[in-house]
Structure 1
Amino acid sequence: MDASETKLNPETKGKVVQIFPHFMARVAKFEELAAAGYKFLISFRQGLEFIRRPCIDKTSEIFEKVIKANNTDRIQSYIKAGYVHNSSRAENLNKSKDIINELKCLVEDVKQTIESATETSQDYHANLDFEAATCSEEGNDSFIPEKSRDIDYATMVAVVFSMVKQDCAMQEKIVSSLSLKTSSGELESYCLMWDIVPDSEMETPNEEQIYFEMGVVVPKKIVDQIEEGYDSVEVLVDEFQKVGLIVDRVAGLNDEFLKLAAPVEALGKAAAELKLRKRTQIGVDLRFEWDEADAFVKQSDGSLFSWCERFRCYDHMIYGIINRSDSAIILKSDHRDIRWEPGEPLLWKLEKEGIVKEVFPIHVEVKRKQLLKCWASNWRGFTNQPLDEIYAYYGAKIAIYFAFLGMYTNWLFFPAAFGILVQLVDFGSLQLLILPFFFICIVSWAVFFLQFWKRKNSTLLARWQICYSVGAESAYKYMDTEWSSFHSSVGSFKTFGADKSREKEKFQREEWFAHMLRFRNDAIIISSIICLQLPFELAYAHLYEIIGSDIMKFGLTAVYLFAIQYFTQIGGKVSVKLIKHEKNESSEYRANSLIYKVFGLYFMQSYIGLLYHAILHRNFMTLREVIIQRLIISEVLENLMENSLPYMKYSYRKYRAVCNKRKREKGMAARKSYFNSRVEKEYFKPIYSASVGEELEDGLFDEFLELALQFGMIMMFACAYPPAFALVVLSNFTEIRADALKILVMYRRPVPRVAATIGAWLNIFQLLIVVSICTNCILLVCLYDREGNWNISPGLAAILIMEHVLLLIKFVFSRIVPEEPDWVKANRMKNATEAQNMCSKQLLRNISGRRGMLDTATLVVGDGGIGVTAAGFMAGVVASLVVGVITSMAYEDFGFEFTCVPTDGYKELNLLGE
């Protein structure tokens, strides 16, 4: 019987599909063990090459004494085993054999399912000819037997199992043949054979590969701890599996780790429940429907969902598990009873009780190693970076940061070369004009850089299918707006339109109240900076200027750095508390508010002392020394701290875990504790978070802050030290690879954040250009007016005129270069036009078929954007309305009336049309 002609009965249909994820999870575990075995093989090869070096004189007295002093049974067994650990090798082989046995059991289950299904479907195949003849007599199309998806999965299980079994047999033969007599050529061939992955011409039923991307930390299960009742961890695992997640349980030193993976079908259903908006094939963003998944555009790596969308789906699935029964369920944990009330989220309850310690995203080892090779270790690529791969693995915000850093470093070559030329070449009589000309070029360069960055940002967003338009910034932010920010009660929505003047006054009053609240908080921060931090910074700069001893200066700087850390921490905490009382529209608005407030603290801290040396004392030698110190010494120390502190935190947490395990096993035989799982190592790594306001910002806050302070340093004091741009080029070249290595190795995988631009940092860079125009004009006055008379001579008047000309240049150049490429605009308009034409045709067909019917459509507006639902022939009208949202068309032009009905989580605007 042909496999393509087999049909399963309803009892067995779907059973193979349920077995398949567990089968692939065990295959993934086998691959992890195979990778560990490959490391053992490489270390054996390296050790064998080492001992094959010219040996020492064994007849010497020193050698005999060393052998006699260390002649233990362990040393003898180690030498006989060929300088490899037999225990590690045997343990790895035993684990691989256990997994092979588990795979055999799963294959037997699949085999039995298919055999039972085949036996029950014989009657169906016996009647195939009769049904086909009947269909042909009635004039229908020829009957084609339905190909069952279970058959595809069963065939794939058999093929994969055969490959894994062959791979395990080959590895076992390689390990058993290793000895000290193995030649270098044989070892090299063994390494190549081990690394070969058996190929198959068959494709998996799902094109997307399934990876474990989330981890849940729960207490390690103790035998005989649970009495009567439900084990809370077991219930959690069962619920995860019910929603479609694949669970792999890994035992750690002190805790147990649940690794979660989701097939694309489970992600699609969760995305449909979340009402995610995705780009369709016609270029319009619509609410996702799993049944129409083929209509949506896939990512550049072939996956249907981006990492940010997958994370939202994971969060929805694991936190959306609730008790759907009518009564409470008693869960057991550590001899405690936990009542899981009806309608209560399970994971939230277990987190509250301390059973679930943490939920965090985990690295995908295959993709992480690829990025390490082509990104963090690719020093020859200079500033080239795999931005598409970074976006697919980390999300838009981190990819945009590294794109900005790479472009910024490339653009620094011109001012770096020009600055070195100005510093080294003597221009003779033109020397007085070269610095103003240099600064005019630098300001023009900075303005063009930011404008062309906006263009590149738009290009990246178009390439990544992210809906954002420079001209429609407010609309984009409105789609991410939290409806609670409108501060309107449910009753006001219900009566909206009954008394428009009163409602209008209420909205205006609440709007201005929010503005005044933000203004009050900004005034508090600015007053604190001026009244508290400014005197402290001026006092430090004055003492540094008058102290002559270098030792005293060093001690003063140490005290200053120690004190400024507390100032910054206190300022950050005050800013976070003030922001929490603001009525911001979204999380990005809150993050931008934090950026502005904290940058004010760092601005005063970084630049006020330099301006003091330059303007009051006109000590340009000290100014240049401080600039060099900030750009070289501070950068090196910061990079060392950024990379060493995470490792120290990781080592400390690992040490505590080992100590806790030894305390629990005090009565047992002393043995060394090992980390057998990668997920446990990731759990001990620190979170990629901001140093200030970590609840509002991630680790990119510190990276952007460092870039902004660096940009301000070289721009505000460009005339004082032109070669500073060259130092920044070298620093940023190292920063690209150091940040990549840090985020890939030192930290956990960050939680993805939705961000289409660099946000408030772009406004800060533009502000620094304006400030640099003023500061450099003052520096030029101080350089040329050495006598200090401050006379309005022709030279000083020219500098003042130059200041106004530079401000005009910034304004004009910002308008000359468009912020968005024409091809991006044309592509968006083309998609909108095609969608409008398609919807107009559908609308006309529906109107001609059902004229005069009164129907109701629902426009759903929520955190994810604007969605539309309708029934019957109104689908065409709804589609036209979607195009109207995109092209900013007025709904009143269609003749619709509006009513607003508030619901939980979103608002519905009911459209009544005839």
Structure 2
Amino acid sequence: MVYDLLIRTLYDPGRKDRVGIERLLTNGTYSAAFPLHDGDYWLHKSLRRTREDDQGQTIFIKENNRQLLYDTWAKTTRFYKYQPLPLIRKYFGTKIGLYFAWLGYYTKVLTPAAIVGLLCVVYGAITLSTDPASNDLCNKDSAGGIIMCPNCDKICQFWQLIDSCRYAKLTHVFDNFATVIFAAFMSVWATLFLEGWKRYHAEVAWEWDLMDYEVEEETIRPEFQIRVRSKRVNPVTQEEEPYLPVRQKIMRFVMSGVSVLFFLLLVVAFVFGVVVYRVIVVYVMHASEDDFTQKNAPILTSVTAALLNLIVILLLSWVYTGLAWQLTDWECPRTQTEWENSYTFKVFLFQFINYYSSLFYIAFFKGKFSGVPGAVDEDREQGKYRVFGYRLESCDPAGCMVELVIQLAIIMVGKQFFSGFVEIGMPMCMNAFRNWRHHLPGTKKQKMERRRKTEKAKRSVDETDQSVPRWERDYALNAVPEQFLFDEYLEMVIQFGFVTLFVAAFPLAPLFALLNNIMEIRLDAYKFVVASRRPMPARAKNIGVWTSILDGVSKMAVLTNACVIAFTSDFVPKMLYMITEGNGSLANYVNDSLSYYNASKLEVDMDDPLQNSTVCRFRDYRKPPCSLKAFVPALADVADCDDHYGFSLQWWHVFAAKLAFVLVFEHLVFLIKGFVAYIIPDLPTHIFIKLQREQYLARQARRDYEFRPKSAHDGDDNGALAAVNVKEKYAAFRNEAAAAFQPGAFDTGDETRLRDVGGIKAGVRQRSSTRMSNDSFHSVISPSDSHIELSGSDAMSETKF
């Protein structure tokens, strides 16, 4: 309330547009404005539980809300405990409370996905020894002895298929029949997550009085008031206010859009640069005299390219985030909501392409343009393209799935480690640096006296004993960015994309996300409670536009997983082979998936022991050359041959089967998703009944008021009695509604302190508690939920500065 008055108060009576503390902050009149923390987050060990007063009596030391949050929530050692959501909401406001409620729920529902994904990998590892395709490839007396064409032109050597044994084994661990089921499961899981969040949010919104919350008319942003010179009379308020003409708006949007498009193309250019890096590094490693480097050139190239791509992603993300902020400011939105929507669209669009473009390249484009081996003049006719004279890299005979797993794992895990350092490591370093350089007014003698008193005050409970005022100590903490929750939501949404979009390639993604989020909750809590100034409490009805973004990502995940299974993995070709040629078995599948090439046309390394080979094989479905029919007995009866290596009839069969699989998979999964979303109501039954009951009592109270005795209009005792009856009915409804929630019993001493410490007393609208989940890192609604008041020094006001 106080801050709302501050942002609407006129500070210059002579100028009606000079309004609000935010404009004073913008023009530098004030350096900061923030609410104060309740006190220090720590309590000296000698004073933690009890102490003796002046009369020698042992008294209980009351912890303030900040200390309670630190002891029971912000410590990383408390990762297994429930989140005290009511206290979080009370101390930081409903906007931050909703973020932690959503993050806790998201972390909770990741548990079954992580378990099923781990089981898929375990299944792949268990069935590895019985997989016919990988066993055939790893057998030198069988398919493993097949001579393969060089991976690059001129300097590369022939090699045997058994050299891909490790890739084939690793591919089967992540790409097996269980993966298809898991991909469909994750698509339905995403729907269950979103529908479950709607229901859980309804419970939280009911408990926190957010059901009927509507945003009031927003104030004009200070930047808009300062920069916009043209004015017009507001047709609603009939007052003159700044106005940006439509023509200028369009011009600003167009220029901003061009800038955004340029940076999106820049991301694509960097992805192409990484592709060129891959091509060149493969050539360099194959030209190396080191046997280890030559044999492991593909895996080394994939790892180094993924690390390079991660560095580029993080740098571009940092650059573009600042640019998006400047572009949004340049667009000059009128209200803060308009500013946030524009900024969110820019950043999410960029980050989506930034993080996922390299994954899309490996999954759907790598190997599709390398064509057939050899350095011949008809490269383009054979579907082969070159970059600076180098042939584009192709997939291993075991497929591109291993490279996709490596790329996804490095980017996802690397981003998580980097984000953890940015959120905790940098604030701690900045706090230490700021405290070292922080200049407090006063002489050197006064500063020394302050330090002496501060050390002494650490053993004191009374805040007034501190020599440095609370506002100065809070000012030394990290400032809370204007969009402090935006980065938190964006990080989790990008992670949600990793978990859903390419989960068919990396079933362990939910497990890594779960482990990260368990610590993320505590690290974010530490950042808000310890390392940062207290954010301005704010109300919010829900998590905003992020719900729609999550829904869009979950729908897109169905198509991407279908395409990964169809076009990146070997699931469809294997199934087609088993049905048409293998009689239910994958025996000889590896040989069937390789095409023939006339090796006499190849320019190879003269030191290659296999340089006299006349026939080599490569991964594709191509027609065999007619020139080899006389040399290869297996081709003697082949009628359909082509010296230009055109696509075989089998290629078209496989391609048609892949398209059919994509259509069937996505239609079936979308049907299941739609059915699940339809049968699960957004409101839990007990919340729906409470809302209906509240509306009924409101109508009844209105009728009682309208038809009360006429004397009630004159203010006599009957009128007062009628008003009292209405209040009693509404209070009775509240008690009736609260009775539906079972009281949540805290199991540990730390959680009991959340009820008992600080003289907690419930306000007029106290509701019973309910345990919202059964997981240790989720949340619990405690007894004194809404409108809690604290007595004495523990009283907290969301408008305290």
Matched AA of 2:527: K
Shift in CA distance, 547/671, structure 1 to aligned 2, threshold 3 Å: farther
**Corresponding residue number in structure 1 for 2:181:** 437
Mapping 1:539-618, distance limit 5 Å: 539-544=273-278, 546-548=280-282, 556-557=308-309, 560=312, 563-565=315-317, 567-577=319-329, 579-581=331-333, 587-617=336-366, 618=395
Cα gap change, 1:517/1:424 in structure 2, threshold over 3 Å: closer, same or farther? farther
CA distance in 2, matches of 1:391, 1:536: 43
Aligned-partner Cα distance in 2 for 1:720–1:489? 57
Which residue of 2 is the match for residue 630 of structure 1? 411
Q: Cα 1:521–1:813, aligned 2, differ >3 Å: closer, same or farther?
A: farther
- Cα deviation, 1:197-232, whole Å, max 9, x if unaligned, reads xxxxxxxxxxxxxxxxxxxxxxxxxxxxxxxxxxxx
> 2:419, 2:27 → 1: CA distance?
39
- Distance change >3 Å, CA 352–CA 640, structure 1 → 2: closer
Contact kept, 8 Å, 1:525 with 1:597, in 2: the verdict is no
| Alignment root-mean-square deviation, CA | 4.5
Aligned residue runs from structure 1 range 434-473, under 5 A: 434-468=178-212
Asked if residue 688 in structure 1 is aligned to residue 480 in structure 2, the reply is: yes
Larger RCO, structures 1/2 (Cα 8 Å, 6+ apart): 2
The 5-angstrom pairing of residues 339-378 of structure 1 reads 356-365=30-39, 366-377=64-75
8 Å contact 1:319–1:348 — kept in the other structure? no
CA drift at 1:415: 1.4
User: Alpha-carbon deviation of 1:759?
Assistant: 0.9
Aligned letter for 1:537?
V
Q: Which residue of 1 aligns with 2:670?
A: 807
Number of residue equivalences: 496
1:533 paired residue number: 267
Q: Distance in 1 between matches of 2:655 and 2:15?
A: 81
2:511 pairs with 1:765:
no
Q: Report the secondary structure of 1:749's partner residue.
A: coil
Alpha-carbon separation, structure 2, partners of 1:836 and 1:317: 37
CA 1:545–1:740: 2 relative to 1, 3 Å? farther
Q: Cα 1:843–1:597, aligned 2, differ >3 Å: closer, same or farther?
A: same
Q: What is the distance in 1 between the residues matched to 2:110 and 2:330?
A: 37
Q: Distance in 2 between the 1:644 and 1:667 partners?
A: 33
Contact 2:114 2:514 survives alignment (8 Å) = yes
Is the aligned partner of 1:424 residue 2:122? yes
Contact preservation (8 Å) 1:687, 1:748? yes
Question: Which residue in the other structure is 1:900 paired with?
Answer: none
Cα distance in 2 for residues equivalent to 1:783 and 1:424: 18
Q: Distance in 1 between matches of 2:501 and 2:360?
A: 9
Letter in 1 for 2:517: N
CA distance change for structure 1 residues 716 and 345 in 2, over 3 Å: closer, same or farther? closer
Seq. identity, %: 24
Q: Following the alignment from structure 2 to structure 1, what is the Cα–Cα distance between the partners of residues 429 and 675?
A: 50
Does structure 2 retain, via aligned residues, the 8 Å contact 1:397–1:752? yes
Q: Are residues 843 and 401 of structure 1, via their aligned partners in 2, closer, same or farther at CA, if it must alter by over 3 Å?
A: same
* 493 and 846 in structure 1: CA distance in 2 versus 1, 3 angstrom threshold: farther
Q: Secondary structure at the match of 2:693?
A: helix
Contact conserved, 1:420 with 1:723, CA < 8 A, in 2? yes
What is the SS of the residue equivalent to 2:66? Answer: helix
CA distance in 1, matches of 2:185, 2:122: 18
What's the CA shift for 1:724?
1.7
Determine the structure 1 residue equivalent to 2:57. Answer: none
- Cα deviation, 1:651-681, whole Å, max 9, x if unaligned, reads 22222234x76xx747999889565434322
Kept in 1, the 8 Å contact 2:102–2:197? The answer is: yes
Q: 1:395 maps to what in 2?
A: 93
TM-fit CA distance, 1:532: 3.2
TM-score by length of 2: 0.54
> SS in structure 2 opposite 1:361?
coil
**Separation of aligned partners in 2, 1:671 and 1:355:** 30
Structure 1 distance, partners of 2:500, 2:236, is 51
Write the deviation string for residues 476-509 of structure 1: whole angstroms up to 9, x where unpaired. 45x4566999x996585599xxxxxxxxxxxxxx
What SS does the corresponding residue of 1:752 show, helix, strand or coil?
Answer: coil
Which amino acid counterpart does residue 446 of structure 1 have in structure 2?
A
The separation in 1 between residues aligned to 2:416 and 2:691, in whole angstroms, is 42
Give the C-alpha shift of residue 739 in structure 1.
1.1
Cα distance per residue 1:266-292 (max 9 Å; x no partner) = xxxxxxxxxxxxxxxxxxxxxxxxxxx
**1:526-559 CA distances to partner (integer Å, 9 max, x unpaired)?**
6335433322333234424642476975994586
1:767-807 CA-to-partner distances (Å, cap 9, x unmatched) read 11122112111111221257363634446512321122222
Distance 1:456 1:667, change over 3 A: closer
Matched with 1:753 is: 538
Per the TM alignment, residue 844 of structure 1 is displaced from its structure 2 partner at its CA by 3.2
Amino acid paired to 1:841: D
1:759 is paired with a residue whose SS is: coil
Q: Is the 8 A contact 2:205 2:211 kept in 1?
A: yes
**Are 2:436 and 1:655 aligned?**
yes
Q: State the Cα distance separating 1:318 from its structure 2 match.
A: 9.6
Structure 2 match to 1:717: 502
TM-score if structure 1 supplies the norm length? 0.48
Structure 1 residues 812 and 734, CA gap change in structure 2 (3 angstroms): same
CA distance in 1, matches of 2:236, 2:310: 59
- Greater mean deviation of Cα atoms: 374-383 or 512-521: 512-521
CA distance in 1, matches of 2:16, 2:558: 64
* Alpha-carbon distance in 2 for matches of 1:350, 1:519: 28
Does the 8 Å contact 2:123/2:178 carry over to 1?
A: no
Secondary structure of 1:770's partner? helix
Corresponding residue number in structure 2 for 1:7: none
2 CA distance for matches of 1:357 and 1:748? 14
Aligned-partner SS, 2:438: helix
Given the superposition, is the C-alpha separation of residues 728 and 572 from structure 1 closer, same or farther in structure 2, using an over 3 Å criterion? Answer: same
Which segment drifts farther, 416-425 or 620-629? 620-629
Cα distance in structure 1, aligned partners of 2:522 and 2:690:
35
Q: What secondary structure, in the 3-state scheme, does the structure 1 residue paired with 2:479 have?
A: coil
Offset, 1:627? 1.9
**Number of the residue aligned with 1:248:** none
Cα distance in 2 for partners of 1:670, 1:393 equals: 34
Provide, for residues 728-777 of structure 1, a one-character-per-residue CA deviation record: whole Å limited to 9, x for no partner: 11111111111111111111111122211111111111111122112111
Q: Distance in 1 between matches of 2:251 and 2:28?
A: 38
- Report the Cα distance in structure 1 between the residues aligned to 2:115 and 2:350, rounded to whole angstroms: 32
Which residue is 2:688 aligned to? 825
Task: Identify if the C-alpha distance between structure 1 residues 624 and 346 changes in structure 2 by more than 3 Å, giving closer, same or farther.
Answer: closer
Q: What are structure 1's unaligned runs of at least 5 residues?
A: 1-311, 325-339, 470-475, 496-509, 852-871, 884-914
Please tell me the residue identity of whatever aligns with 1:451.
E
Q: Where in structure 2 are the equivalents of 1:26-175 lying within 5 Å? A: none
Secondary structure of 1:756's partner?
coil
Residues 398, 435 of structure 1: CA spacing in aligned structure 2 closer, same or farther, 3 A cutoff? Answer: same
CA drift of 1:573 comes to 2.7
Query: Out of 500, 523, 535, which is 1:738 matched to?
Result: 523
1:468–1:629 Cα change, 3 Å: farther
Matched with 1:901 is: none
Looking at structure 1, the residues matched to 517 and 112 of structure 2 have their Cα atoms a distance apart, in angstroms, of: 15
Q: 1:494 to 1:712 in 2, by over 3 A?
A: closer
| 2:56 match | none
Q: Residue in 1 aligned with 2:701?
A: 838
What amino acid maps onto 2:363 in structure 1? Answer: A
- Separation in 2, partners of 1:440, 1:722: 12
The one-character-per-residue Cα deviations of 1:46-105 (angstroms, maximum 9, x if unpaired) are xxxxxxxxxxxxxxxxxxxxxxxxxxxxxxxxxxxxxxxxxxxxxxxxxxxxxxxxxxxx
- Counterpart of 2:569 in structure 1: which amino acid? L
Equivalent residue letter for 2:350: L
